[in-house]
Amino acid sequence: MKLEYPVGTPVEITGMTTCQIEDHLKRYPEVVTTFATIGRVGVFDEEVPNKSEMIVQLTPASKRDNIEEVMAKIRRELPAYPGAVIEIAQPGLEAGISGADIDVRIQGDDLAILRELGEKAVAAVQNIPGVVNLSSSLSTGKPEIQVFVDRMRAADLGVTSGDVAATIRTAISGSVATKWNRVGKEYEIQVRLPKDFRNSFSDVGNLLIPSRKGNIPLYQVARISYGYGPVSINRDEQIRNVAITANISGRSRREVIRDVRKSMDMINMPEGYEVIYEGQSRAIRESFISLTEALIIAIFLVYVVMGIQFSSFIYPLIIMFSLPLASMGVSLGLFIAGSSISLNSFLGFLVLAGIVVNDAIVLIDYIITLRKRGMSREEAILEAGPIRLRPILMTSFTTIFGALPIALAIGEGSEALAPLGIAIIGGLTTSTFLTLIVIPCIYTIFDDISRRKFKMEKVENNA
């Protein structure tokens, strides 16, 4: 959990709210412990008085609801804290991927235009079902007093920008005037104005700046105003950008990202500004591309190995029809389990590319053996099916039951790998039973085609 107040909020307020949230969390039987870090967050442990982070440890998965349901319940029941933005998310489960589920970047040069576009993007995305923890990188900046030196007026009085900066720094932050030695130790003596003389807007304007005409107040050579400085300016390849980030809850990633893209397409982008999709959505898309390439290579290698073993490239082609049968089972299994296509489910299909062909190999190999013994095609098919049924079921069921603990998500943190087990079980189940029916039919079709081709070549040779 992350808590963020507007910039400038003292750490005492942040700490008090954090403690109240921790007290609220203790009411839930699912919560075991909480650990809070106040005023120092991020990888580099930066000081941010307006932010805090809480790590919430839950009871084992067998003793509570799904973690998404627990987070949704906390979101609904957590009291509202005026001015505070609270994010509740689960640590990233995709291996090697970090960041928000949704990360939309708007690139451009002008910070004012980026801020306006960022506000439009937040307004467009916040009403999409399933979007939670929405935030923008261009949040309200730090409040500050800005001093703009009138260079012409300052030059007439013999005042430089360096003089102004040095005076303000000494008065507000303090400067080391000298050092004091005592018993071999050296101490720095820092001087600055008392708090009562540097605590208001008028105090800054009345600071005395040395000039050729004696000490003059700062407001005579500078314009002083309130303003906000940017907390940070993000750049990607030297181009400024604003990041709109959010997490997903209650809906599939694919559906939410599709709706986000539609909403962003409705925003009129000025010339020189564009939308880029980063974060997990981009990382997952790139991972899908890599896994697709790996799947193609795996299918090719399996086909080549079978072609060498069978001394034919027709029989391996018949056997490869097991893959579509497996894909049907993968889709059906994910649908029944209420899961969506993810990296882990795709990885399960990649594993299936080398497994599901085993049943077809056992069946086709025995059909070929029987035909070499003199049996007709139909007799060989009817003979091979019952005889090879037992080894086919043995090999398939051992793999299915071996993947069952993964699919059932037994153990802490195993929810992430559940789609992998579901994909393997679903694909093997449909492939095992459909192989006994579909593959012999495919074999018959290819055999008829080869026979007709052989007859045509024989007629041409006789002619």
- Beta-carbon neighbour count of residue 87 at 10 Å? 18
Whether the predicted model's global pTM rises above the 0.75 cut:
no
Buried b (16+ CB within 10 A) or exposed e, 228-244: eeeeeeeeeeeebbbbb
Reported as a single tens digit per residue, the pLDDT across 256-287 is: 888 888 888 888 888 888 888 776 666 667 77
Domain 142-229: CATH architecture, name and number where available: 2-Layer Sandwich (3.30)
What average pLDDT does range 363-383 have in this prediction? 88
Backbone angles phi, psi at 181, to 5 degrees: -100, 135
| Domain 1-88 in CATH 3.30.70.1430 | yes
Q: Which amino acid is at 288?
A: F
pLDDT exceeds cutoff 90 at 21? yes
Q: Rounded CA gap, 368 and 370, in Å? A: 5
pLDDT exceeds cutoff 80 at 329? yes
What average pLDDT does range 386-408 have in this prediction? 88
Q: What is the pLDDT of residue 95?
A: 39
What average pLDDT does range 403-428 have in this prediction? 81
Q: What is the pLDDT of residue 357?
A: 87
Which residue(s) pair with 229 in the sheet?
142
- Using DSSP bridges, classify how beta strands 131-136 and 239-248 pair: parallel, antiparallel or unpaired: antiparallel
Distances (CA, A) of 400 to 407, 412, 420, 428: 10, 21, 12, 7
Determine the 3-state secondary structure of 457 from DSSP.
helix
Determine the 3-state secondary structure of 36 from DSSP.
strand
Lowest mean pLDDT among 84-93, 190-199, 296-305: 84-93
| Domain 312-462 in CATH 1.20.1640.10 | yes
Residue 13 is encoded by which pair of tokens?
């307020």
For tokens 């790139």, name the residue. Answer: 286
Lowest mean pLDDT among 29-33, 41-45, 357-361: 41-45
- Using DSSP bridges, classify how beta strands 142-149 and 234-236 pair: parallel, antiparallel or unpaired: unpaired
Reported as a single tens digit per residue, the pLDDT across 79-137 is: 888 888 888 887 754 434 445 778 888 888 887 788 888 888 888 888 888 888 887 77
- Indicate the domain borders of the chain: 1-88, 142-229, 312-462
Q: Rounded CA gap, 265 and 389, in Å? A: 55
Going by pLDDT thresholds of 50, 70 and 90, the confidence category of residue 232 is low
For tokens 């027709």, name the residue. Answer: 314
- Beta-carbon neighbour count of residue 306 at 10 Å? 22
Contact 267/135 with Cβ under 8 angstroms?
no
Residue 9 is encoded by which pair of tokens?
């909020």
For the chain, what's the residue count?
463
Lowest mean pLDDT among 43-57, 226-240, 246-260, 353-367: 226-240
Q: What is the pLDDT of residue 283?
A: 66
Query: What is the dihedral sign for C-alpha 116, 118, 119, 123?
Result: positive
Contact 3/54 with Cβ under 8 angstroms?
yes
Q: What is the pLDDT of residue 44?
A: 54
CA 74, 79, 80: angle at the middle one, nearest 5? Answer: 120
Going by pLDDT thresholds of 50, 70 and 90, the confidence category of residue 461 is low
Q: Rounded CA gap, 279 and 98, in Å? A: 7
Q: Running DSSP on this structure, what letter comes out for residue 274? A: E
Helix (H) or strand (E) holding 245: strand 239-248
Contact 415/92 with Cβ under 8 angstroms?
no
